[in-house]
Amino acid sequence: MKKPLIVIAGPTACGKTGLSIKLAKLINGEIISGDSMQVYKYMDIGTAKATKEEMNGIKHYMIDEFYPDEEFNVTIFQKKSKEYMEKIYSENKIPILCGGTGFYINALVNDNDFTETENDYTFRNSLYKFAEDNGAEALHKKLEQIDPESAKNIHPNNIKRVARAIEFFELTKTPISKHNENEKQKTSPYNTAFIILNMDRAKLYDRIEKRIDIMVENGLIEEVKKLLDMGYSEDLVSMQGIGYKEIVPYIKGECSLDYAISELKKATRHFAKRQITWFKRQTEGLWVDLSVQSEDEALKTIENYIKELGII
């Protein structure tokens, strides 16, 4: 019998965190963050981590696990998340995977195999250096030449994933897109309830802009400055995350605060759009429109769905 797994996914700022905590209270669940940035210590405001008060006593995993200069990737995420799932199962609770990093979520849900290739850190670091010297677009063009399908799906600014795709091809002579397609054909080892939250685009964009204004009020600029003062380079993969790379130029005196915030809002809107596109293409499940349902109504819809699947 397959073990249960609930996924709450969707674009940034759509309300995943609050709803997942309410769901966890309702069904005796614990939450694993499916976010590639919340895993880093000291990066709280820019990653929109739930506060202790917001967590409302619900245990959260894959938050504050690594320092900003430590290696973190989908393989590490998958391994640690599976360990936490076993711990949650052992306590007769249900794991709720909550986040917007679709690549990480699918890797866990489908138990994708990332272990068959070795890592070549020297080659990977040379790609990071190439991007640093020549720009992210130049590195992305390298990927386009060997794996156009991956190049279409990976944003040029995601240097970590671009480099990994090039490294995979270097090691296996197989495009990682082909490998991922093969992995997608696998049947999930879990009884998965996949819930994707969404809302009217204009409403979502308004929520994004308001949330960023609140982040700035709550100390986002100070958080980024503190990270730089602690010695964390702006070139780190963690510091290239949305919410950090847009603020660094302001701190360095290269642009105004208004311009930095405007760039952050624009980048976040584009990111949300890409997330929605990704989930529409990659996943099947229950889509919940929070433009037409309140949070409580959505919670009832989700409860009925997971009952139908025999999870509760």
Chain segment 19-36, per-residue pLDDT in tens: 999 999 999 999 999 999
Q: Which residues are annotated as a binding site for ATP?
A: 10-17
Measured distance CA(245)–CA(224) in Å, rounded: 9
Mean pLDDT of the chain: 94
Q: Which residues are annotated as a binding site?
A: 10-17
pTM, to two decimals: 0.83
Chain segment 73-123, per-residue pLDDT in tens: 999 999 999 999 999 999 999 999 999 999 899 999 999 876 555 567 788
Give the pLDDT band of residue 63 (cuts 50, 70, 90): very high
Q: Which residues are annotated as a binding site for substrate?
A: 12-17
Say what the pLDDT of residue 184 is: 67
Say what the pLDDT of residue 283 is: 66
CA pseudo-torsion sign 302, 306, 308, 312: negative
Chain segment 176-228, per-residue pLDDT in tens: 888 877 776 677 899 999 999 999 999 999 999 999 999 999 999 999 999 99
Residues facing 199 on adjacent strands: none
